[in-house]
Structures are given as structure tokens and as C-alpha cells.
Chains A and B, each alone.
Chain A
């Protein structure tokens, strides 16, 4: 608790999200997510996946079987890259990147993405279809372009024809929050003039059976912060944002990344630090990075997975940084926990809240856990929101808090 929350970057230039998009269980594109948030309509449905016979609800993106990758990139074909491709096609994102490419040149735009399981579904299938005599995996199974964690960034840079610095960050459920911090540093240090950030994670047996083995999966749709919460609902999503320096003369009004805070729990691989030390550090570092005080934050989008322990620890951590006045909620009752795509999904929800003036309720929550001391929002409200924090905490005790606001 005695570590300083000093800013790691005093020369911060906020980065503008000059285009952004999301595909998740609520539908394709930003408007589908906004509409569902306004109408309290969850995307969680009973699990009916061919590769997971589990009694649970999932946030599935419909129609992935019908997505066709460009013929020259067919070697990348897998559920995860289909989801990525669907994401790139929403909200004019490809076109916005094409304009940035014209302006800056393809080698001046970075591609930094997050995923937790990439295309592991292909390897799961390959193991089911292995040769029973030799043990060999099917000839058609392409590890590099599907399962390897870099596959999704490699695919996206080919679709968008970008040749700048590129890598995939894979820190479990904080992956696609951390991409913002990394891209902002690359922009700040002049290694690129723009960056495509985002994350893609798709449903697979590894995640579904894995979280079930940890007894973290709920049978009903997840209920963040509820007295009766009993686990997560797993979802899938793709999301992207095009980041540019606000000082560039093309940057207009819009949503900006004001700051990012990263920390480690240094405690346990799958349980959070009981005092929420890592979460507190991440939130304080994000505030210091942005040069803001706790009272400047008008809404906190919680990590809020609806697991018993995680929600309780996050509540304690939020209260110790913000007290009991700042409205906060988890939106995982809508999308499910999209794991490596949670950071980008909730970053875009934060952008929607600011752009459209919305504080979403904690969906599926009927009775707030009486031990909770932060201000969980039970009724959505349409009101101006200037500044939003989004929390993402992952296995391995990997934490990232982001702050978004409006560029003026």
C-alpha cells in the first residue's frame, strides 16, 4: 500500500479515438451496443455451442459461420479472425484507417491488439481430429495463422495494409485495455503517427471448460454486484479504435484517452489480492497519468465479472480511491465477460457513454450486495458524462485502468 502512484509519464499528449467500432453479443457496430444499453436488453443467451456442452449463458456473436475472409487471406480463417474481420467492417473503420494510411503512410501506423485465447479453437478441433495411429494433427491445421497469439494482429495489418510496429499483448482479461497504454507510448515516442488498437476474443472450449473448472461460471446470466451473484457469463467480441495524437491538425472533437494506469497484484494467478492493492494502484496511476483527481471521474465502468471474490475486492478498491459518490456499474450483464476483448469492448462503451450522455445501470442486479460500499448504479440515466474510467483486471494479477474524456 506504500507504493507511490506517481505518474510514469509527465509529458502526456492525450490520444484521440478518431474512429472506433465494436461487435459483441449486442450486435454489429456502435449503434447496436448503444441501443441495447438504452433499452436494458442483454445479449446473453443459453449456451448452445457445438463445442461446449455446458449449462450456462454466453454472449455469442451470431453469424460468424457466414463470414468470409478475403480470398488472399483465407489461410487466417478461424472463428477469432472472422470476428476480427466483422469488427473491421463496422462504423466505417476500414475507411477511416485507409484515410490515415494515405496521410501518414502504411509504415507509420502501428497495430497493437489484445487477445487471451486467439484461435485456440482450431487447435482444439485439430486434437479431436488427430490421426489415431501416428498422433499427427490434420494437414489442414495451420497453427501460425490461426492459433498463434499474433495471428489476429497479423491478419488485421494485412486487411488494413499497415506495416508499422505491431504485436499482440496477451495478459488475459486486461489484454485489450493495455493496448491503449502501449499505443499511447509509441505515439508519444514518435515510433508511429497513428495506431490501430483493439482486441478480439472468441468463444472456445478452453475458456468455457477452463473457467468452469475454476467454478467461476454462472448457470444464469451473470449478475454483477448482486447479493446472489454466482459467477461469470463468457462472451466474445471484437473491437478496434484508431488512435492519433490530438496535436495533429486532423484531430477534431471527439473521445480521447486521457490516461492509463498499469499494475500487478503479485499475489495469485487466478485470485485478486484480497485488499485490492493492485486494482487501487492501477486506478491511482491512471488518475496521476491523466493529471486528474478522483472527483473528476463521473462514471466508472467496472471490471465487474460477477464472480463472488472479484466484485467484492473491486468494490473495496473503488471505494478506497473514490469513496461512495462516484456512479459505477459493470456492463457484463449485457455482453458477458469477453476476456481478452473486455478492455476494448468497455473502452468503447465508455466512449458511447461520453459521446451520447449515458450512465448504464448494473444489468441483472436486483439486490446490491449489502457489504458493498461504492455507488452501484441501479437505474440507467441519460445525462452528460465528461470523464469515464474503465477497469480491466486479469489472471496473473494483471491490472489496467483507462480514463477517457472529450477533446475540446
Chain B
């Protein structure tokens, strides 16, 4: 299936935005893992920016950059958000409260605990009433969301904003789901070539494939790739950043793979 990549957003330690990260991912500049700053997507109202947790901010930052990079109106695109675990900081808070006498849960925390909180806030921030979804597939979440996205592009003949994001849980949950670092990526996927298209992606979803999954040459980026389900996108982003045609293999479940032929436009 063919889709056009019209915009990218990126938010991770040492990868602050697509334009600032492109040369790093291409291997032309060193990757320096700097302390991560809480994202502050301006698409959210100041009140919601204060109210939302790190996970939502991460997702919206990646989504906002992708939309702006592609110069599309968010009212015209469907949204597919994916996250292995949703907002684990809120799950930690809720479960801590529920373990205490009285179980006095905060109503705002509770409605923000749904897996689709980030895409819900995206809708509130943009006013877009197009279809939106939120999905998960544990470590294979990035490709699962990519499948949903490209199928929506093909069926709906309209662009899809795909955002994948995961923020590490706090202790003690971290010991049970030890994510290495935060990572958020946004991709604006379009059914037709536009003057904003930076790459064409020819994606085959293979349910049985023995090809090795793509990795990162840089050891620290490889740690990031392995350490966060959303960062499994890194080999694809690196191929786009290198501006050369390439084949990228990403993992789905078991022996499932996404085989992506990347042809860059600029």
C-alpha cells in the first residue's frame, strides 16, 4: 500500500523536533542524550497544558509538529494515536489512591486515565471532528498503529495524522514495564503526492516473514529503539532522514513484519 509522508514530528531526549534531529538520524551529527524537558505544545490552551500529564503533552507535541511540517489543516485529517500503555503516571496515581482508605479518586484524573485521553485532547485543541482512534499492541504498537493508519488512508482517501507515544511509568510500576525514555513521533500520511511530500512509503504488511528487523547504527539510539515501543519507528525515520531509497523492516507480532520501501523526494 502506498502512502505519502508529508510531515514528521519528533519528541524524545536529544531529538527535539524533526528538523533538529534529521542530521542526527542520518548519522551526520552526533546523538547527545540530553535531559528531557516536559513538552509544551502550544496547540493546547495554557489551562489544558497545565492540566495535562506528560504523556498527553508528548503526543500533542509530536502531532503538532507533524501537522505544521505538512502545512495541513487538522480539520481535514483523521487521527490515529497509538501507545503501548497510555498514561502510566495516572494509572500509578489512581492505583495509589485506590489502595488507601476512602478511595477518593479525582474526577479529572479519572477521565484523563482513558487510553484515548491524548487523542481526545487533540480534538479539543484543534476542534477537529474527524474520526479519531487510540490503539495498542504492547511492543508491536508502532506497526499496529501504522496498519490502522494506512488502511484509513486507503479507505477514506483523506490524510491521517499518526502519532505514537510512550512515556516511562514511575516506580514501582517501572520495574514491571521498564521503558528506557520518553518517545513521541507524529507522521502526516497522505493518499496523494503533494508539494509537501518528503517521501513515499510502499508498505507491505507480512504476517509471516523471517527478515531481520531494522536496527540503529548508533548504539544509544538503538538503546532508545529497544527501550520504547514508539521508538521502534526509528529505523523508518532514519531512512527518511538519509534522503536515500531504502527498505526498512519493522516488527509486528511474532513473525509479522512491516516491509517499507522508502523513496525520498528531497
Is B144 within 8 A of A167, CB to CB? yes
Determine whether B219 belongs to the interface, using a CB cutoff of 8 Å to chain A: no
- Point out the residues of chain A lying under 8 angstroms from B136, CB to CB: 148-150, 167-168, 170
Question: Which of A167, A281, A396 lies in contact with B117, CB distance below 8 A?
Answer: A396
Check A191 against B175 for contact (C-beta < 8 Å).
no
From A166, A266, A270, give the contact of B129 (CB < 8 A). A266
| B116-A185 in contact (CB<8A) | no
Residue A116 interfacial (CB < 8 Å): yes
Known: A205-B103, A264-B123. A108 touches B207 (CB 8 A): yes
For B114, give its contact among A123, A136, A153, A172 (CB under 8 Å): A172
Inter-chain contacts of A270 with B (CB < 8 A): 107, 111
Q: Which residues of A contact B104 (CB under 8 A)?
A: 213
The distance from the CB of B19 to the nearest CB of chain A, in whole angstroms, is 28
CB-nearest residue of chain B to A184: B155
With A189-B1, A210-B94, A210-B110 given, is the CB distance from A143 to B173 under 8 Å? yes
Q: Are the CB atoms of B131 and A262 closer together than 8 Å?
A: yes
Chain B, residue nearest A130 (CB): B172
Q: How large is the interface on B (under 10, 10 to 19, 20 to 34, 35 or more residues)?
A: 35 or more
| Chain B residues with CB under 8 A of A203 | none
Q: How far is the CA of A263 from the CA of B131 in the complex (A)?
A: 4
C-alpha gap A107/B156 in the complex (Å)? 25
Bound-state CA distance A128–B171 (Å) is: 15
Residue of A nearest to B208 (CB): A107
What chain B residues lie within 8 Å of A396 (beta carbons)?
114, 116-117, 119-121, 123, 132, 134
Interfacial residues of chain B within 141-186, with CB under 8 A of chain A in the complex? 141, 144-145, 147-148, 151-152, 154-158, 171-173, 175-177
When chains A and B are docked, how far (Å) is the Cα of A364 from the Cα of B154?
A: 44
- Out of A149, A165, A277, which one reaches B252, CB within 8 Å? A165
Whole-angstrom distance from the CB of B126 to the nearest CB of chain A? 7
Contacts of B172 in A (CB 8 A): 130, 135-137
| Known contacts A123-B95, A171-B115: A8-B129 contact under CB 8 Å | no
* Interchain CB contact (< 8 A) of A263 among B129, B145, B151: B129
Contact pick for A164, options B84, B123, B134, B207, CB 8 Å: B207
Chain B residues with CB below 8 A from A153, complex form: 137
The answer to whether B129 touches A9, judged by C-beta atoms less than 8 angstroms apart, is: no
In the complex, chain B residues whose CB is within 8 Å of the CB of A191: 147, 151, 205
B106 at the interface (CB under 8 A from A): yes
Contact across chains for A127 and B86 when beta carbons are under 8 A apart: no
CB-CB nearest in chain A for B48: A269
A278 at the interface (CB under 8 A from B): yes
Which residue in chain A gives the minimum CB-CB distance to B106? A213
Bound complex: CA of A290 vs CA of B177, how far in Å?
A: 42
Q: Is A182 an interface residue (CB 8 A)?
A: yes
B66 within 8 A of A: no
- B154 and A206 contacting across the interface, CB-CB below 8 Å: no
- For residues 73 through 127 of chain B, which have their beta carbon under 8 Å from a beta carbon of chain A? 79, 84-86, 91, 94-96, 98-99, 103-107, 110-117, 119-121, 123-124, 126-127
Kindly state the separation between the CA atoms of A142 and B177 in the bound complex, as whole angstroms.
10
Contacts A127-B95, A172-B116; A262 near B133 (Cβ below 8 A) = yes
Is A394's beta carbon under 8 Å from chain B? yes
Are A189's CB and B154's CB within 8 A? yes
Inter-chain contact B205/A165, CB cutoff 8 Å: yes
In the complex, whether B16 has a CB less than 8 A from a CB of chain A is no
CA distance A263 to B129 in the complex (A): 6
B residues within 8 A CB of A169?
133-135
Q: CB-CB < 8 A to B156: which residues of A? A: 8-9
Q: Does B128 contact A (CB under 8 A)?
A: yes
B207 touches which of A107, A124, A281 (Cβ 8 Å): A107
* Interface-centre pick from B114, B124, B132, B255 (highest chain A CB count, 10 A): B114
Known: A214-B110, A270-B111. A163 touches B254 (CB 8 A): yes
Instruction: Kindly state whether residue A397 has any CB partner on chain B within 8 Å.
Output: yes
Q: Which of B86, B116, B141 is close to A394, meaning CB atoms less than 8 Å apart? A: B116
Please name all residues of chain A whose beta carbon is closer than 8 Å to the beta carbon of B144 when the two chains form the complex: 165-167
Answer yes or no: B214 CB below 8 A from chain A CBs: no
Instruction: Identify which of B106, B152, B176 gathers the most chain A CB atoms within 10 Å of its CB.
Output: B176
Q: How far apart are the CA atoms of A178 and B115 in the complex, in Å?
A: 14
- CB of A388 within 8 Å of the partner chain: no
* A 123-153 to B, binary, CB cutoff 8 A, 1 in contact else 0: 1101110100001110001111000111001
Give Cα A270 to B111, complex, Å.
Answer: 6
Q: Which residue of B lies closest to A12 (CB)?
A: B155
**B117 and A143 within 8 A (CB):** no
Contacts of B255 in A (CB 8 A): 163
Other contacts beyond A149-B85, A213-B110: 14, CB < 8 A: A120-B95, A127-B99, A150-B136, A163-B208, A163-B253, A165-B144, A170-B116, A189-B1, A189-B154, A210-B110, A264-B128, A266-B126, A267-B124, A278-B129
What are 22 of the A-B contact pairs (CB < 8 Å)?
A107-B256, A123-B91, A127-B98, A135-B171, A149-B86, A149-B136, A150-B137, A165-B207, A166-B144, A172-B116, A182-B151, A185-B151, A185-B152, A186-B151, A191-B147, A206-B95, A209-B105, A210-B105, A264-B79, A266-B123, A269-B114, A278-B129
The 3 closest A-B pairs by CB, nearest first: A396-B120, A170-B115, A210-B110
